[in-house]
Amino acid sequence: MNDIENELVFLPLGGAGEIGMNLNLYGYGPPGKQRWVMVDLGITFNNGSIPGLDVIMPDPTFIEDRREFLDGIVLTHAHEDHIGAVPYLWEELGVPLYATPFTATALRHKLKEAGLLDEAEIIEVPLKGRFNVGPFDMELITLTHSIPEPNAIAIRTPAGTILHTGDWKFDPDPVIGEVSDHDALKALGDDGVLAIVCDSTNVLEEGTSGSEGDLLSSITEIISTCENRVAVSCFSSNVARIETIAKAAQANSRSVVLSGRSLQRMVQSAKSNGYLQGLPEFLTEDDAKQIPRENILIICTGSQGEPRASLYRMAFEEHPRMELSSGDTVILSSRVIPGNEPGIAWMHNQLARRGIKVLTAKDHFVHVSGHPCKEELLNMYQSVRPEIAIPVHGEYRHLFAHAELAKTCQVKQAIVGENGTMTRLAPGPAEVVDHVSTGRLTLDGDRLVRVEDEYVRRRTRSLFNGSAVVTVIVDEDGTIIGEPQFTTTGLLVDGESDELYQEARDAVFAGVAKLKAKSRRHDVEVQEAIRVAVRRVFRQVDKRPVTDIHLVRI
């Protein structure tokens, strides 16, 4: 690599080998001294495997260590998995943020909450705008998705042009915003595209993803059959779906109430950018009390069973202002994100238990995806005709299937790589040239910690195996004084404690007695002997508790 003057590389730190948490890096220049541009900086949500944590984001250490070579962050659209990490990680990067007007508005709300609005530089780029970030000539190409202003980016460099698609689909009737700019894609293909970095979410699905416009008649008809109160839950960022639901409610003489902070904020951002016009005013949660149940429709957050979301709180009768009763109907107008199935099922069962009817996309036409299926992907490849395909935004099975599909489109090379795979796109044939360290950060209170840290692992082990604290007093020679004291959590059930505690006490004495006199004078060696002895006893109940030894030497 040292004899290469300038090279063009692609490096994902998030969003490759998974769906969500996108962070993509493009580098151009001499090896080891490239200038970088970041495309998207998103989050994902905890699927319950890590207790007490919600927000998870990619670890940007690789680019933090090279921040003087980072020229900017370009945001393709305003979904959380593409912009959600900006308020948490921007201070460590400190570079300009580029976004179209709607995305910039949504981002300002986030930065204001984080106290960074006056510090971060946001450069608004018009739709179909063209601008430079360091050595990269960036052009936005309008596509369709489930949020306003989704953009692909044509990234032009002296080594070749890359099309980064972001999240997209080809929707002939997107309800909000323009249709995909097919002419721009074909013109780009005519000029020559070195590589496409492309969404893989629905590559396993045949046909097309369907049009948002087709949903209106279906949802209108479904609502016409509902009695009493109706609640429709969707992703708060799906502004087109909000308009579709509002029009369906209007056709059924129902007033619309917005329930959920993120939903209200997204609607505010949409209206300030000229979207959601010509609809009746949305009502507040307090207004709902004054309107008959059969004349109300609630648009709410919580389609993924999130415990703090509006629908979940209504299901469990915990919402302070909104309520659902027997005979009401809930429509889940969204896809199920992998990993969220248990939470959704739990909420669904609770609604059913209370006599509330639940309609889902499994049995009714209440949702269309925002990502391309096979036919749309084939059309993209026919338009762009890239030399290289790099699938992203999918689990490994999606990436592999996408690479195979690209090969059927006469793409010369298709490279499958997960987070941390650095691919040199030019000069020469594309090849993987490095694997960099990656990881995940999580927000724990007001702190960012690494998911891989012992601090987080201990919490997870405590959840499944319980914990034990043993307090032991010893003299200067390491002789135990008095009886060891035990405090356990989530480890023993009634009737087990007395016998096991006595066995554990005996084990503490025996463990320390086995130590040589010299070792008993060292706290660390005494603590480890006690910890091993106690854990051996508690394994009788098939547990490996997190065990802490509080040693007091007098």
The CATH number linked to 519 is 3.10.20.580
Is 178 found in the same domain as 201? yes
pLDDT of residue 501: 83
Where is the domain boundary, 450, 476, 494?
450
Q: In this structure, are 201 and 217 located in the same domain?
A: no
Answer yes or no: do 476 and 443 share one domain: no
Cα(340)–Cα(344) distance, integer angstroms: 6
Are 350 and 233 within one domain? yes
Residue type (1 letter), 39: V
Burial string for 53-87 (b: 16+ CB within 10 Å, else e) reads bebbbbbbbbbeebeeebbbbbbbbbbbbbbbbbb
Q: Is 137:157 a contact under the CB 8 Å cutoff?
A: yes
- In this prediction, residue 336 carries a pLDDT of 87
| Domain-ending residue, one of 360, 386, 414 | 360
* The pLDDT value given to residue 463: 64
Q: What is the pLDDT of residue 342?
A: 87
Length reported for the chain: 554
All residues at 6 or more sequence positions from 226 whose CB lies less than 8 Å from its CB, including other chains: 329, 357
Q: Residue 460: inside a domain, yes or no? A: no
**Domain range holding 283?**
212-360
In the structure encoding, which two tokens stand for residue 27, read together? 């580098």
Residues in contact with 7: Cβ distance below 8 Å, sequence separation at least 6, in sequence order:
1, 27, 28, 29, 30, 31, 34, 159, 424, 426, 427
Same domain, 164 and 54: yes
Q: How far apart are the first and last CA of the chain?
A: 62
pLDDT reported for residue 496: 62
325 falls within a domain = yes
Same domain? 178 vs 76: yes
Per the domain annotation, does 2 fall within a domain?
no
Tracing tokens 């056709």 back to the chain, one arrives at 251
> Same structural domain for residues 304 and 395?
no
Supply 501's token pair. Answer: 């505690």
Q: 120 and 39 in one domain? A: yes
Q: Which residues pair with 471 in a beta bridge?
A: 485, 550
What does the alpha-carbon distance between residue 340 and residue 37 come to, in Å, rounded to a whole number? 33
Same domain, 201 and 218: no
In a domain, 391, yes or no: yes
Token pair of 201, please?
């979410």
Q: What is the CATH number of the domain that holds 343?
A: 3.40.50.10710
Place of tokens 């970041």: 38
Last residue in a domain, options 360, 386, 406: 360
Whether residue 36 is found in the same domain as residue 180: yes
- The predicted structure's pLDDT at residue 494: 64
Q: Are strands 195-199 and 160-164 parallel, antiparallel or unpaired?
A: parallel
CA nearest to 373, candidates 394, 388, 390: 394
**Does the residue 345 lie in any domain?**
yes
Q: Are residues 397 and 482 in the same domain?
A: no
The answer to whether residues 155 and 221 belong to one domain is no
Query: Would you put residue 59 in left (φ > 0), alpha (ψ -120 to 50) or beta?
Result: beta
- Beta 55-58 vs 44-45: how paired, if at all? antiparallel
* Residue 461 belongs to some domain of the structure: no
Within a domain: 455: no
Distance in angstroms (rounded) separating the CA atoms of residues 439 and 451? 8
Kindly state whether residue 251 falls inside one of the protein's structural domains: yes
pLDDT by residue for the chain (554 residues), tens only, comes to 445 689 999 999 999 999 889 999 999 999 989 999 999 999 987 655 565 566 889 999 999 999 999 999 999 999 999 999 999 999 999 999 999 999 999 999 999 999 999 999 999 999 999 999 999 999 999 999 999 999 999 999 999 999 999 999 999 999 999 999 999 999 999 999 999 999 999 999 999 999 999 999 999 999 999 999 999 999 999 999 999 999 999 999 999 999 998 999 999 999 999 999 999 999 989 888 889 999 999 999 999 998 889 999 999 999 999 999 999 999 999 988 877 888 899 999 999 999 999 999 998 999 999 999 999 999 999 999 999 999 999 999 999 999 999 999 999 999 999 999 999 999 999 999 999 999 889 877 677 777 766 656 666 666 677 888 899 999 988 899 999 998 888 776 666 667 788 888 899 999 999 999 999 999 999 999 998 998 888 887 777 788 889 999 88
CATH of the domain at 178: 3.60.15.10
Number of domains in the chain: 3
